[in-house]
């Protein structure tokens, strides 16, 4: 049965966040709110966590998992990038984007796209997400919580608890959750390629 942790949207309680961090570092799987719906997250190198996400969402091996990070200063550790990619990320983060980028050697192979050796990257603006990342002290490997057969992410913490009670270890709820998907931009080629329109302005990446 999942632990349900209800925190304040503006000042998430450190004790609750630490409980969540303990579960994550013990190999657990957490459902948490972001500015674009709920997400499922685990720590780096948690192979079982990835398989649990794939099982819940019925994903294949070609799915791009996303590294959630809290500060731009962390980008260089996880992304193998040219100058133009650095500038694009710098100018548009944090924000309502998910970027597909070339993974650095620091990203475990099991977290990367199996053929492209790439990874999703997000710098969110959601207060609870950022507080959790800061408490954890490392990225969360995540995937938007869209159930099989659905097109929109889950956005209500209690509904997540009722639906996935025996499939996740913690549901973190702050009562505020975005409902608009991110704009997905692929930066692995010679120029930006918009893969999905969402909350992020596509204009900076228009041809």
pLDDT mean for each 10 residues of the chain (207 residues): 96 97 98 97 96 95 92 96 96 96 93 90 97 97 95 94 97 94 95 94 88
Domains defined along the chain, listed by start: 3-205 (3.90.870.10)
Query: Cα separation of 6 and 26, whole Å?
Result: 21
pTM for this structure?
Answer: 0.95
For 47-86, give one letter per residue: b (16+ CB within 10 A) or e. eebbebbbebbebeeeebbbbbbbeeebbeebbbbeeebe
Cβ–Cβ < 8 Å for 172, 19: no
Cβ–Cβ < 8 Å for 183, 200: yes
């Amino acid at each position: 049965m999942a632990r349900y942790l209800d925190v304040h949207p503006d000042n998430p309680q450190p004790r609750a966040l630490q409980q969540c961090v303990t579960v994550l570092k013990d190999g657990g799987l957490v459902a948490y709110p972001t500015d674009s719906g709920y997400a499922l997250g685990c720590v780096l190198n948690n192979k079982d966590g990835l398989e649990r996400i794939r099982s819940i969402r019925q994903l294949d091996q070609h799915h791009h998992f996303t590294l959630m990070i809290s500060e731009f200063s962390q980008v260089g550790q996880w992304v193998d990038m040219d100058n133009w990619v650095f500038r694009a990320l710098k100018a548009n983060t944090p924000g309502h984007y998910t970027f597909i980028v070339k993974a650095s050697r620091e990203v475990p192979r099991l977290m990367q796209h199996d053929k492209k050796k790439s990874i999703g990257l997000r710098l969110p603006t959601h207060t609870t997400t950022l507080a959790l990342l800061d408490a954890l002290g490392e990225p969360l490997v995540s995937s938007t919580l869209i159930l099989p057969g659905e097109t929109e992410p889950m956005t209500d913490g209690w509904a997540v608890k009722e639906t996935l009670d025996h499939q996740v270890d913690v549901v973190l709820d702050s009562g505020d959750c975005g409902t608009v998907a991110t704009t997905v931009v692929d930066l692995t080629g010679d120029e930006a390629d918009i893969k999905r329109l969402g909350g992020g302005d596509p204009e900076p990446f228009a041809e």
